[in-house]
Amino acid sequence: MIQVRTVVPTTVDKVFSVLEDGWSYAGWVVGAAHIREVDPGWPGVGTRIHHSVGAWPVAVKDVSTVLAVEPGRLLELEARLWPLGAARVRFELTEVADGTEIVMSEEAVKGPPALLPEAVQAVFLKPRNRETLRRLADLAVRRRD
- pLDDT (tens digit, 9 = 90+) per residue, 52-69? 987 778 788 899 999 999
Domain residue spans in the chain?
A: 2-142
CATH of 2-142, one of 1.10.10.10, 3.30.530.20, 3.20.140.10, 3.40.50.300: 3.30.530.20
At residue 138 the predicted structure's pLDDT band, cuts being 50, 70 and 90, is very high
Give the global pTM: 0.93
Q: What is the pLDDT of residue 121?
A: 87
Sheet holding 60-70, edge to edge: 2-8, 99-110, 85-96, 74-81, 60-70, 48-53, 32-38
C-beta of residue 139 within 8 angstroms of C-beta of residue 132: no
**Is the pLDDT reported for residue 19 higher than 90?**
yes
Q: What is the pLDDT of residue 41?
A: 97
